[in-house]
Amino acid sequence: MKNLCKASILVILTLMYFVSCTGKKNSSSSVKNTELKIGTSQEFETLNPLIMTMSQTTYMYHMTGRKLVHMDPDTKWYPQLAKEIPTIENGKAKFITVGGKKKIIAEWEILENAKWGDGVPVTCHDFAMARTIALSPNVSIADKESYDMIEKIDIDSKNPKKCSFTYKKARWDFNRHGTFYPVPKHLEDEPFKKFNAQKEGYEKNSTYSKAPTNPGLYNGPYLISEIKLSDHVTFIPNPHFYGEKPKIQKVIIKLIPNTAALEANLRSGTVDMISTLGLSFDQAVEFDKKINAEKLPYLVTFTKGITYEHIDFNLDHPFFKDGRVRRAMIQALDRESLTKSLFEGKQESAIHFVSPKDPWFTRDEKYVIGAKFSKRDAEKLLAEAGWKKGEDGYLYKDNKKFSVNFGTTAGNKIRELVQVYLQDQWKQVGIEVNIKNEPARVFFGETTKKRKFDLAMYAWVSSPENIPRSTFHSTSIPSTKNGYSGQNQPGWNNPKVDKLIEDLEIEFDSKKRTDLAWELQKVYTEEAPVIPLYYRSDVSAVPPNLKNYRPSGHQFHETGKIEEWTLE
Amino acid sequence: MSTYILRRLIQTVLVIIILSYVCFYIMTLMPGDPVELMIQSNPKITSADVERLRALYGLDQPAYKRYGTWVNTILGGDLGYSRTYRVPVEELMIPRLKNTFILSLLSLLLSLAIALPLGIYSALNPGGRFDSIVNFFAFSGISIPSFWMALMLIIVFAVQLGVLPAGGTETVGLNSENFFNFVKDRGTYLILPILSLSVQQIGSFIRYARSAMMETLRNDYIRTAKAKGLERKVIIWRHAFRNALIPLITILALSFSGLFSGALLTETVFAYQGVGKLVYDSIIANDYNVAMISFIISVSMVLLMNLLADILYGFADPRITFS
């Protein structure tokens, strides 16, 4: 008994010793440009750009890798590794006809001083290598189109920094190689040749997997000095970087999966900032209030994004086949007051699928039909469609009550709040909405994929000037035939929309292209296959002395210009 | 006894094989697959891409064929490849298993070191002031949700007092060659997770130890021992405690079987590099290779610890034979 008591006392004393050994930690962000620790709540994988799929990995890749072109926070494309972006207008690209098919050939030239982290120059061979690997049937690349759109790459025999890309199809966005990542031929050629015959052989044996801290894998402002999956990655400046030298001497990305713990880590100084892939929106709003109340040394940024939250109608549902019913359900919703009351105006209500950040956005009433809240108009449309109010206050038609199921991802606090808000507004016009939520895995893996819903609320991730083929084209309606691959979950089948999408892809005149995009917005708002709710904002928490930090709000993260960040 | 152990080991292997297939099959029944996750994060994926990726991953094959392929890979000495993290499974799991083992073992030892004396002392003085206080804390420990406890510990020790790190496994970039410094650094990061895990364990161990001792102390042989005039120390430790060990061995064996399973909530809140969250994520993301290896480890540990418990029963109570 005495021995056990002694052991307990010993354990407690050891704990007290460890506590006494540690002192209060100070946030290193106060020290000018020495170190920046960025907290995130999202997982990451190895940084092989050809096979990476996670947003956090892309966020980090933009710190270490550069491509031909990139998009800035104002949604403008600019050259990174390329000297300039070839266009028809500047004469660096031209149309050719081969076998009666219209194609494009473009001249690309890589910056003279662009080098990999081991000092080897970046050349067109590295782009050709990436394309060869990506097109291999044994490599599990998700987005093959970025590489497959190029028919061939001809490299100048005298200057490997110059090459011409021949594109299979004459598309106006041929030069927007935002997801065409080069890989160092001098490191990746050997594992590819050796292991390509095996399924997934290359990715298991690539230098990115076997020696991820090899400086030759990266050509961006930073190199990776340490990587621990599911924990942290440490970045140090790349001495061979072609551009402006990065100011911050060490950047650490630290994964803290629990968002409440992430905030506590920020406040305790374990991390200096929280990236746009960290806090949830509601948490950021609360933290912003705490900053003001407790005078905490942080700023919360809210950046308008491209992603938009919406509700899909299942257009095969008998109630939703009538366009008047769909429009009435939209007009019955006061989305302005929803965003004001739930998001304090920090997320904007949506009027269609194009974000205000997108050059194709329009508010013109000529193209945006019936988006305004009007309970009276909604009731009128429902009455025209044959729905009459019963004694219980709900609508009936042919003895059927207007009662539908409304699903989203269970456990998502914001979505669940929005659901209750909308349920109440629809009830006021006589529509009964039954909330039926499911875990994300079931909701996306079964319900929306197989279109087993009445109303489904979720978000569409997009990019500026994105042609919505995967979400609106009739060939993208998920079915057994296409392996449930499309994202046209409402089942919108409109030949006019299909034609507009196809025309958009090949329209080279910018003005005409915008007209087509506006026309698409008009058909969308007229037919209302989807209820647009709000455009999401990206949130981050940063120290006030971090300068030149501009969150992008789209998939091309702000780390694309991390060399400009400075702690003053 | 060796025949008994051999027979039990053969049974263990058979159970692992059967359960591994059942687990694999159930995972294939879950909605979604790894390609599904790619589709959600990349709207540019075409139906041709989906078909190609499903064929590449073997997802177009029936479950029994996929299981056969997995078993063949395992028997070839390769634990497989994580499709989530894009690294071999052993590279991903071994460091985490070590971390989880350290966290779970230390927390278990701390819990036992505190709970056993308290439980036994309470049983010796039932209904007294000390017993009431111990019971109050034991029930409090059992009732407090571990994630709430973890967050409170972070707020007090990391945010308010600033004496301990809020989360992590070790100081980033610390490449200390001094063993003492290394242990000190790791120890600093372990204090809060251990405390968080132990609070609940201490509560339940106190209750088990107390009730097992009280049950034993009511037996006739204890009364006989007292009537014979044996020393109190001998009665407690040789007669009462030894007989109270049987239920305690069962509880301990089950606790030890969880040493490699991980503590999902604690590891997640403290961003501790353990296996608990990895297993959870691998199941959610359909990362079959990682999930299956974790499953095999968990099942093996439960079965082996039960076998160990059965053997220990024999030592604790000579009336138990293995014939």
d(CA B275, CA B86): 17
pLDDT at A561: 94
Q: Considering CB atoms only, which of A53, A268, A483 is closest to B47?
A: A483
Is A34 an interface residue toward B (CB < 8 Å)? no
d(CA A231, CA B297): 23
Q: Which residue of A has its CA nearest to B180?
A: A18
* Per-residue pLDDT at A28 exceeds 50: no
* Per-residue pLDDT at B207 exceeds 70: yes
Please tell me the total number of residues recorded for chain A in this structure: 568
A450: Cα within 13 Å, side-chain hemisphere: 10
* Per-residue pLDDT at A562 exceeds 80: yes
* Whether complex ipTM tops 0.90: no
Strands A273-274 and A36-40: parallel
d(CA A79, CA A85): 6
- Do residues A249 and A96 touch, judged by C-beta distance below 8 A? no
Cβ–Cβ gap A254/B168 under 8 Å: yes
Is A268 an interface residue toward B (CB < 8 Å)? yes
Q: Residues of B with CB below 8 A from A270's CB?
A: 158, 165-168
d(CA B75, CA B65): 15
Average pLDDT over residues A252-269: 91
Q: Residues of B with CB below 8 A from A487's CB?
A: 39, 43
Q: What is the pTM of this model?
A: 0.85
d(CA A47, CA A251): 16
pLDDT at B176: 65
Is A142 an interface residue toward B (CB < 8 Å)? yes
- Do residues B292 and B70 touch, judged by C-beta distance below 8 A? yes
Q: Residues near A222 by Cβ (< 8 Å), separated by ≥ 6?
A: A63, A64, A235, A236, A237, A238, A246, A251, A562
- Positive or negative, the CA dihedral A82, A83, A88, A91 is negative
Q: Residues of A with CB below 8 A from B269's CB?
A: 258, 260-261
Q: Which residue of B has its CA nearest to A438?
A: B31
- Do residues A277 and A60 touch, judged by C-beta distance below 8 A? no
Cβ–Cβ gap A140/B36 under 8 Å: no
The amino acid sitting at A87 is T
Average pLDDT over residues A479-500: 89
Cα A351 to Cα A130, A299, A421, distances in angstroms? 40, 30, 18
Cβ–Cβ gap B47/A486 under 8 Å: yes
Is A232 an interface residue toward B (CB < 8 Å)? yes
Is A234 an interface residue toward B (CB < 8 Å)? yes
pLDDT at B180: 86
Instruction: Provide the shortest C-alpha distance from residue B272 to chain A (in Å).
Output: 8
Q: Which of B26, B38, B47 to mutate: most A Cβ within 10 Å?
A: B47
Q: Of the ranges A111-115, A337-341, B10-14, B118-122, which is most confident?
A: A111-115
* Per-residue pLDDT at A190 exceeds 60: yes
d(CA A283, CA A275): 13
**B-contacting residues of A 446-505, CB under 8 Å?**
446, 449, 460-462, 466, 470-471, 482-487
The amino acid sitting at A358 is D
* Per-residue pLDDT at B42 exceeds 80: no
Cβ–Cβ gap B56/A140 under 8 Å: yes
pLDDT at A150: 96
Q: Residues of B with CB below 8 A from A199's CB?
A: 56
- Do residues A238 and A117 touch, judged by C-beta distance below 8 A? yes
- Band of pLDDT at residue A189, cut at 50, 70 and 90: very high
The amino acid sitting at A379 is E
- A115, β-bridge pairs: A121
Q: What are phi and psi of A243, to 5 degrees?
A: -100, -155
- Do residues A232 and A37 touch, judged by C-beta distance below 8 A? no
Q: What percent of chain B has pLDDT over 90?
A: 27
* Per-residue pLDDT at B262 exceeds 80: no
Q: What percent of chain A has pLDDT over 70?
A: 94
* Per-residue pLDDT at B113 exceeds 90: yes
CB pairs under 8 A between A and B: 208
d(CA A7, CA A2): 9
pLDDT at A480: 84
d(CA B300, CA B256): 12
- Do residues A450 and A399 touch, judged by C-beta distance below 8 A? no
pLDDT at A2: 53
> b or e along A142-168 (b: 16 or more beta carbons within 10 Å of the residue's beta carbon)?
bbbebbbbbeebebeeeebbbbbbebe
* Per-residue pLDDT at A173 exceeds 50: yes
* Per-residue pLDDT at A246 exceeds 60: yes
pLDDT at A26: 43
- Closest alpha carbon to A319 in A406, A260, A218, A250: A406
- Band of pLDDT at residue A184, cut at 50, 70 and 90: very high
User: Lowest mean pLDDT: which of A103-107, A223-227, B6-10, B212-216?
Assistant: B6-10
Judging by beta carbons within 10 Å of its beta carbon (0-12, 13-18, 19+), is residue B144 exposed, middle or buried? middle
Cβ–Cβ gap A265/B166 under 8 Å: yes
Average pLDDT over residues B95-102: 90
pLDDT at B1: 74
Cβ–Cβ gap A51/B278 under 8 Å: no
d(CA A352, CA A531): 8
∠ CA B298-B304-B310, rounded to 5°: 135
∠ CA A482-A148-A167, rounded to 5°: 125
Q: Considering CB atoms only, which of A21, A138, A143 is closest to B184?
A: A21
- Do residues B151 and A261 touch, judged by C-beta distance below 8 A? yes
Higher-confidence position of A439 and A321: A321
Is A201 an interface residue toward B (CB < 8 Å)? no
d(CA A286, CA A346): 12
Is A25 an interface residue toward B (CB < 8 Å)? yes
The tokens for A57 are 């990995």
Cα A564 to Cα A548, A560, B2, B303, distances in angstroms? 6, 10, 70, 57
Is A265 an interface residue toward B (CB < 8 Å)? yes
| H/E segment holding residue A227 | strand A222-228
* Per-residue pLDDT at A338 exceeds 90: yes
d(CA A170, CA A149): 10
Q: Considering CB atoms only, which of A45, A53, A466 is closest to B42?
A: A53
Q: Which residue of A has its CA nearest to B119?
A: A1
d(CA A61, CA A43): 14
* Per-residue pLDDT at A339 exceeds 90: yes
* Per-residue pLDDT at A194 exceeds 60: yes
d(CA B60, CA A238): 43
pLDDT at B202: 93
Q: Which residue of A has its CA nearest to B281?
A: A43
Q: Residues of A with CB below 8 A from B52's CB?
A: 137, 144
Cβ–Cβ gap A471/B43 under 8 Å: yes
Q: Which residue of A has its CA nearest to B195?
A: A15
Q: Considering CB atoms only, which of A142, A204, A268 is closest to B166?
A: A268
d(CA A267, CA B114): 33
User: Could you give the 3-state DSSP secondary structure of residue B179?
Assistant: helix
- Do residues B280 and B289 touch, judged by C-beta distance below 8 A? no
Q: Around Cβ A538, how many Cβ atoms within 10 Å?
A: 22
Q: Residues of A with CB below 8 A from B83's CB?
A: 140
- Band of pLDDT at residue A31, cut at 50, 70 and 90: low
Q: Considering CB atoms only, which of A1, A199, A470 is closest to B44?
A: A470
**B-contacting residues of A 520-559, CB under 8 Å?**
none
pLDDT at A25: 45
Q: Residues of A with CB below 8 A from B120's CB?
A: 1
d(CA A40, CA A540): 10
* Per-residue pLDDT at A541 exceeds 90: yes
Is A148 an interface residue toward B (CB < 8 Å)? no
